[in-house]
Amino acid sequence: MWCMQSLRRRLRLSGLQLWAAGPLSASCSCKTGFSELRNPAPPRDQRCPTAGSSQHTSYKHLANGRERKTVICIEGNIASGKTTCLDYFAKNTGIEVLTEPVSKWRNVRGHNPLALMYQDANRWGLTLQTYVQLTMLDQHTKPMISPIRMMERSIHSAKYIFVENLYRSGKMPEVDYVILTEWFDWILKNMNVSVDLIVYLQTSPGMCYQRLKRRCREEEKVIPMEYLEAVHQLYEDWLINQALFKVPSPVLVLQADDDLHEMMEKYEENQDQILMLDNTQRCL
């Protein structure tokens, strides 16, 4: 327990909070602040890898002579700063970065299901979320070209946040929700969509609304403040309160209301923690 307290204290000093999903394993011999909610499928090497330098462009995770693959998902509300975070790591590290496939959601053989959903969620919610689930599954299952992959959101948040919000707001009929849930449950049982770490960019709905208006994306012009508040609460219930659905990995919480310059400094200061390169904070 002392190692968890020490790590949490250290991360708080650098602007990060660690939320471990469950108690620490008594059999883990290295200092750690992480424990897993569920075992990934297929199982991954359970030994702690050798830490690398944050200046090393390849970030190889070697365990007993084998390269270990790590998946990190950047989660947060609309306009919480996810793209900015991914841009930093794409430019300053050698890891693989996958942004949300928004371009696909905007153009499916000439159709824009993203815009249609924002215009009439009751009619187009299932259409968009079915395609989101498919494209996010594709993101998770692509062969990895680097030992570390960083993704913008995940198939988990697509279901637990955005499908859930449509259903709870009365804009998705129960039959649509049940069918999407059946598909999602099948994917969890039969596909490897495991995640090693979630970095939650915790941003106030008011700040998200300001940023959303500044960037002025066409589809987002109709998004009201109430929608951002609902999404924020679902993220809090899922990742902070852990009272909504199972959390698929440990969670690092990064306060993200700061301006661009301050966020860049946070990413630089906490690069090793975010990329899970610090041996003192993980034993998977």
Which residues are the active-site residues? Answer: 152
- As a whole number of angstroms, the distance between CA 137 and CA 198 comes to 17
Number of neighbouring beta carbons within 10 Å of residue 50: 12
Residue 153, by phi and psi: left (phi above 0), alpha (psi -120 to 50) or beta?
left
- As a whole number of angstroms, the distance between CA 46 and CA 82 comes to 29
Please report, for residues 23, 34, 74, the alpha-carbon distance to residue 251 in angstroms, rounded to integers and kept in the order given: 14, 9, 10
Secondary structure of residue 63 in the 3-state scheme: strand
- As a whole number of angstroms, the distance between CA 147 and CA 170 comes to 42
- As a whole number of angstroms, the distance between CA 179 and CA 228 comes to 25
Please state the separation of Cα 153 from the chain's center in Å: 4
Secondary structure of residue 172 in the 3-state scheme: coil
Of 193, 192, 187, which is closest to residue 130 (Cα–Cα)?
187
User: Phi and psi at residue 253, in whole multiples of 5°?
Assistant: -105, 125
